[in-house]
Amino acid sequence: MFTLGITLLGLAAASPALAMNVSNVLIYSYTAGFRHDSIPTAVAEMTRRGPDYGINFVNTEDMTMLTDEYFSQFDAMLLLSNTDEVFDAQARVAFQNYLDNGGNVVGVHAATDCMLNFTTMERTLGTQFAYHPEFTNATMIVADPSHPSTAGLPPRWRVQDEIYNFNHDPRALGAVVVLTADETSYVDTGDRSPAQGSPHPIAWYQERLKGSNSTGPVGRSWYTGLGHAAAAWKDDVFMGHIFGGITYVLASNTTRAMNPSATVGSLGPSYTPPPPAPTTTLDSPNSSAVRVLGGLSLIGSILVSSCLLVLHMA
């Protein structure tokens, strides 16, 4: 009885969180063309929420900072709604070297509208921006609910955003699309090219980003076309989408946050994430499994108490 009680009680205990290194992520938000008003809010919200994920964000819009030495500190680079020519010749070389050394890349919204004559950028992000209809309400469809960037989303996710169209299908470069747009849920009078593929891609990832020239370890990339408005960056569901993409690329095992033999990335202190919050409660209408587990634990506790009482009386 004593052993049974301890085992049942142990079933309800939370598993200990695994320690990892703090990851350094560079947010590069320089724009040479159209500038989104949401950029300051996006930087502030990612920076504020970063410690909850063991991420230290650094933001710069100084192109001259983009050198081999500077890039070598970061486990990922996040391209935040950049437009037009945001790399000079030195930055292009340093960015390519970073990719070749195992660096990871996240692209958000207008990032596909920068460096349009730089093949490495197109291959890294998967495609290039073509156009978008007016800011609108639209329905996104989760194509892969198992991916970290979509795991917290409803199967059909209603958003208010600019729904991007692209010049090419990112799937042609081996990208896996995790979020698509329901084209019947909004109005688009533009000349949408069939070359972007169907269903309409909105967010995707590359397990080995195609912009690298390395034959060894290659980092990951993840991109989302959403994120136009500042309000999105205040929304917990949208931020779960963003941080899911960031944490996915950081788990590539090609930078120092996860791999001490890597040549780029942070050498920061250890970080232990908090245990996951319960998704159901004993009062939830969908919590029968939780109630059963709680009942088993209660039975175990009663059995333990009974054994102790018998031993005391003996």
CATH code (residue 141): 3.40.50.880
Same domain? 214 vs 250: yes
User: Along the chain (314 residues), what's the average pLDDT of each consecutive run of 10 residues?
Assistant: 28 38 95 98 98 96 98 97 98 98 98 98 98 97 98 98 98 98 97 95 98 96 98 98 98 94 81 53 37 38 38 39
Residues 98, 124 contacting (CB under 8 angstroms) = no
- At 21 the pLDDT is 76
Same domain? 186 vs 300: no
- Cα–Cα distance between 174 and 283 in angstroms, integer? 45
- At 176 the pLDDT is 98
- At 269 the pLDDT is 59
- Cα–Cα distance between 19 and 54 in angstroms, integer? 10
Judge whether 141 lies within some domain. Answer: yes
Same domain? 155 vs 264: yes
Q: What is the pTM of this model?
A: 0.80
Task: State how far the alpha carbon of 116 is from the alpha carbons of 26, 97, 132, 163, in Å.
Answer: 21, 19, 17, 19
3-state secondary structure 228-269: CCHHHHHCHHHHHHHHHHHHHHHCCCCCCCCCCCCCCCCCCC
Q: DSSP secondary structure string, 27-80?
A: EE---SS---TTHHHHHHHHHHHGGGGTEEEEEE--GGG-SHHHHTT-SEEEEE
- At 68 the pLDDT is 98
Q: Is 272 exposed, middle or buried (0-12, 13-18, 19+ CB in 10 A)?
A: exposed
How many Cα atoms occupy the beta-carbon half-sphere of 153 within 13 Å?
30
Same domain? 262 vs 292: no
Same domain? 9 vs 30: no
Residues 137, 159 contacting (CB under 8 angstroms) = yes
| DSSP-derived pairing of the beta strands 156-161 and 200-206 | unpaired
Judge whether 231 lies within some domain. Answer: yes
Q: Which two tokens stand for residue 292?
A: 């059963």
- At 78 the pLDDT is 98
Same domain? 212 vs 297: no
Q: Residue 301's domain spans which residues? A: 2-13+287-313
- At 267 the pLDDT is 77
- At 117 the pLDDT is 97
In single-letter form, the type of residue at position 280 comes to: T
- Cα–Cα distance between 80 and 213 in angstroms, integer? 24
| CA max distance for the chain | 87
Residues 18, 257 contacting (CB under 8 angstroms) = no
In single-letter form, the type of residue at position 38 comes to: S
Same domain? 294 vs 168: no
* Residue 272, phi then psi, degrees to nearest 5: -115, 115
Same domain? 242 vs 303: no
Same domain? 9 vs 24: no
- At 278 the pLDDT is 55
